Structure 1
Amino acid sequence: MNKKLFVLLVVLMSLSLIGIIFVQSFFINKSLENERQQFSLNVKRALSFVSKQIDDYEYRNYLDKLQPYLNNNRLPDSTAVQRLFVAFDDEQNDQTIVHQNIVLEERYRIPSLFFEIDADSTDFSKYTNERITEVYKKSSLDKGSLERVSQIKEIDDMNDEAKSFLYRDSFKDLISSIDYPIYKRVSPELIETFIDKNLKNEGVEIDFEYAIYDDDLSTKIRTENFEKTTNSYGVPVFLDNNDESSFDLWVDFPERNKFLLSTILWMIVLSIIFTSVIIIAYTSAIYQLIKQRQISQIKTDFINNMTHEFKTPIATINLALDSIRNPKIIDDKEKVLRYLGMIKDENKRMHAQVENVLRISKLEKNELNISKERLKLHDLVEDAVTHVQLIVEDRKGYIKLHLGAAKSSVLANETHFTNVIVNILDNAIKYSDKAPKIDVYTENIANNVLLKISDQGNGMSKQVQKRVFEKFYREHTGNVHNVKGHGLGLAYVKRIIDDHQGHISVESEKGKGSTFIIRLPLIS
């Protein structure tokens, strides 16, 4: 994939993911705002019912105390009569109908004991209603008189609704005219019961604090922990006949936000889960794409390196064969043997590279049969050193052994583990620009034996150390490899050590050399 196209796809996918997260956040905030508005509406509706229930409760108490005086047949202290006449003509039946409504108000003075006020007595009124309907026959306009043909007379007490309205008005006038303490008009327990019941009826099941204020001054009707905030809800209580009052009931919900979040918790949880899945899938996809690009680049480098590695031996073999076919050389046995030796060495070199590639491939497929036996690690180290000793000496370097482990018996495969040590030593030689200087240490730690191979070569950066055991990975200097190879040696080393239940790590500093540390379990 073209690099620019790859970057464009990543940018578009990232913007789409950010857009999805933004849209989900928007809808969650919108839902939360809707829940907040619905919560406020439910609370306000509940408080309006509470205000009405408080008025009804107080008025019922008033009527209960007033009822004995209403049922008393004593003579009123004063009376008042109001008359209302309504007349209209019925042309079709030649009649005139007259409606007469008479309201009789009887005023009584009663003791004020049930209100606990300073006055000796207070007034209340008893109302009765008299309705008369009269129908007259029209004779003629000349006679100037009306003949009364029928009369319907109805006298009864006023209906309960009308009486209640009049009594309620009287009560409100009375209670507003006296200085009656708020805590004697209603109890905190009753307020709390009204609030709790009405909130539950509106679906608001949450702890609350409340207080009644008189012109912004707190009264005794309140809970201990109430604090008036911008999120508190208020409603006027004890309204007078003009629907006005100096008293307000305030309710606050300390856990309001938690309650609102709980109403959309399922939406938040599902959004987080689905968004997390999308993010994980997206991240994984991007990681795999980048990984595939890296692998593709590494494989390309590997093929180029392998081509270069094979090109030199093939060219050497061809030159050697051409030289052998030369008539002047074919009879020179010494030169022929030398060229044949070169052909054999180059052939072995190519064979070793192919074997290394096949070996790592079989390891990945778990097809490589690795049998293990009891071996001395020191013996394996000494054997491996003999494989590279001549190369080191040829470059004027050295390999020093510091085999300090008292116990070195391990369960290992002789061939493969020898190759492991050889590969590490070979890297130490190749990545030393000057004469290779290598020190090999062993020591015992608990039930393990440590093998340390230190060199004073080029060293590695922190980034290279993290990837040095990856298959095909090789450190670059610009676009050119300083050292030819196929990038499989250390990957093979790690796979073999893992198969031996061991562990390998590297400590290095650029320009100061590297130390490979192998830990293997001891056997008794």
Structure 2
Amino acid sequence: MKLPLKHIVILVICSLTGIFVYQAYWLTGLYRTMKQEMESNIRDAMRTSDFNEIVLRVNELQKDNVEHGSVTVSAGYGADGNSLVTSQTISYTDSTYQDTLHSRTETMVDTLKTATGDGAIAEAVASSESGLDVLLKKQDSLKDLLVSIQQGIHSGVDTYIDVNLQRYDSLLMVVLEEHNLSVPHRTLLIYTGSDADSTVTFTDTLGIAGDSSYIPSPKAIRYDYEFNRHRSQRYQLIIEPVGAIIWKQMTGILVTSFIILLILGFSFWFLIRTLLKQKTLDEMKSDFTNNITHELKTPIAVAYAANDALLNFNQADEKSKREQYLRISQEQLQRLSGLVEQILSMSMERRKTFRLHPEEIELKGVITPLMEQHQLKADKPVNIQLEIEPETLTIVADRTHFGNIISNLIDNAVNYSKEQAELTISCRQTGKTVIISVADRGIGIPFEKQKHIFDKFYRVPTGNLHNVKGYGLGLFYVKSMVEKHGGTITVKSEPGKGSTFTITL
């Protein structure tokens, strides 16, 4: 069961639409994922840079400890009154400087213990069904815990050394560049507070760093990171929307997706075009089969009737009648032979074993007999003028098929002329190239039809010339044989003024 062409077209369109929609959905999802990841990277970069800035300030404190004495850093007190984060170093000599560094390292471990209580972790593990794994799987809880610890350290260090905004900005840009986010920006240090009775809240910008030439647009995005425990101080990073950066990073994927869609679109278009051509060809073949069946029966029936009259109705005794019937039989058999020969030539041309038998032939010796044959069989006056330069011009070609080429062109010129056929056949040599043209003064061919006249089974509408019969094989055969000889054929025509077919070999 054949699927109708319109159903195939609908399926193809639905397939392309589905692929396009899925591709758009996938790209949109990828964009959102990359955007979320990039924004997460920005916030992590702000937190990491803040930690690095604290470490650098702690290093400065340690240097001061070595030179000036001991310093105790506290990040607040717990419910029991004990210090949550305490780092104390007492030293005045260079020999104990390494102990100072060791003390700072141990402080981070002590911080985690004191911040959660001495037995908090052990109690959490004991109370959980799966032990420590459950606690470690709670990524958000651990992250919040680390941020809280970092804020506690921040509060203690800020007591002795103020935040260095310029250094923080430099550290932040290094981390952002690692994530391919080197963009114009502003970094602000903001303080938020209130009056004594908490009735008025105010915000003050304590410092600005970053690109001095950058002026944020109305669409600029602001990322905040609150670094102290009271949420009164925060860093603010101002940059333009990251959408353009994400699209730039997705350029390779977008180009690849676009190329894939183009290839699919072209493939489906070519498929539909091929199906349409195949459908047209099938219809033409069906028409050809119907027409050729009728045309084959006609000469056979006429020749049979003439022969039957001679044999069974004593028409052979009268000379004029006998000659008339014999002539009719001969004409019909010639017509039948020509039709069969044309069909066989088409079949042979498509065979892989088809071979030409080229030989050197004289153009005048081949064309002159063809002119006489067409003048004799034509039912209208035919005047053919032959021009050959030089007169002994020869070419290397298959004699039979070359004769059929010229015969087809002459036959078309005669058939598509009106009351009288005026033809000019010219042959000339240009260098190693032979140019043969057959010109007539017939009805001509419309310009939009000229590109189709060499197609198989195609026939140009003949207007009021209803006596022109054919099957759309002649010019297709001519073009095929000319190309087999390594040549080309072109046509120039204008309706009402005739046509000129030019063969170059």
TM-score (norm 1): 0.67
Letter in 1 for 2:425: V
Q: 1:420 to 1:473 in 2, by over 3 A?
A: same
The 10-residue stretch of structure 1 (52-61 or 220-229) with the greater mean CA deviation from structure 2: 220-229
CA 1:26 to 1:511, structure 2 compared with 1: closer, same or farther past 3 Å? farther
Runs of 5+ in structure 1 lacking a partner?
A: 73-83, 87-98, 102-159, 177-184
Identity %: 25
1:293 and 1:85 map into 2 onto residues whose CA distance is 89
Indicate conservation of the 8 Å contact 2:185/2:239, yes or no.
Answer: yes
The alpha-carbon deviation at position 45 of structure 1 amounts to 2.1
Q: 2:51 & 2:224 partners in 1: Cα distance?
A: 10
**Residues 1:222 and 2:222 aligned together:** no
Q: Residues 232 and 199 of structure 1: is their aligned pair in 2 closer, same or farther, counting only changes over 3 Å?
A: farther
Deviation for aligned residue 1:451: 1.6
* Residue of structure 2 in register with 1:341 after alignment: 327
Q: Once the 2 structures are TM-superposed, how far is the Cα of residue 255 of structure 1 from its aligned partner? A: 6.8
> For residues 391 and 499 of structure 1, what CA distance do their matches in structure 2 show?
29
Q: Which string of whole-angstrom CA distances, capped at 9 and with x for unpartnered residues, describes residues 288-311 of structure 1?
A: 322222112111221232233223
Contact 1:44/1:233, CA 8 A, preserved across alignment: no
> How far apart are the structure 2 equivalents of 1:85 and 1:187?
37
Q: How does 1:106-505 map to 2 (within 5 A)?
A: 167-171=156-160, 175=162, 185=164, 187=166, 191-197=169-175, 200=178, 204-213=179-188, 221-223=209-211, 226=214, 228-229=216-217, 234-236=222-224, 242-245=230-233, 248-251=236-239, 256-261=245-250, 265=252, 269=256, 271=257, 275-276=261-262, 278-325=264-311, 327=313, 329-391=315-377, 395-404=380-389, 408-476=393-461, 483-505=468-490
Displacement of 1:278: 4.1
SS of the residue corresponding to residue 50 of structure 2 reads helix
**Structure 1 350/433 Cα, relative in aligned 2: closer, same or farther at 3 Å?**
same
- C-alpha distance in 2 between matches for 1:438 and 1:37: 80
Name the structure 2 match of 1:30: 29
| 2:154–2:228 contact (8 Å) kept in structure 1 | no
- Contact persistence 1:320–1:342 (CA under 8 A): yes
Matched letter for residue 316 of structure 1: V
Contact 2:221 2:238 in 1 (8 A): yes
Superposition deviation, residue 421 in structure 1: 0.8
More helix as a share of residues: 2
> Distance in 1 between the 2:298 and 2:79 partners?
132
| Count of paired positions | 419
* TM-score (norm. length: structure 2): 0.70
SS in structure 1 of the partner of residue 407 of structure 2: helix
Displacement after TM superposition at 1:198 (Å) = 6.0
Q: Residue 54 of structure 1 aligns with which residue?
A: 53
Return the alpha-carbon distance in structure 2 between the equivalents of residues 457 and 440 of structure 1.
Answer: 14
| Equivalent residues of 1:313, 1:346 under 8 A apart | yes
User: Does the CA contact (< 8 Å) of 1:42 and 1:199 recur in 2?
Assistant: no
TM-fit CA distance, 1:367: 3.6
CA shift at 1:428, angstroms? 1.0
Considering only aligned residues, what root-mean-square deviation do their CA atoms show, in Å?
4.1
Counterpart of 1:486, as a letter, is: Y
Amino acid in the other structure paired with 1:473 = Y
Q: 1:440 to 1:257 in 2, by over 3 A?
A: farther
Deviation of residue 68 (structure 1)? 4.0
Residues 1:337 and 1:226: Cα distance change in structure 2 (over 3 Å): same
Q: Measured at CA, do residues 387 and 58 of structure 1 come closer, stay the same or move farther in structure 2, by a change above 3 Å?
A: farther
Q: In structure 1, what is the Cα distance between the partners aligned to 2:432 and 2:223?
A: 79
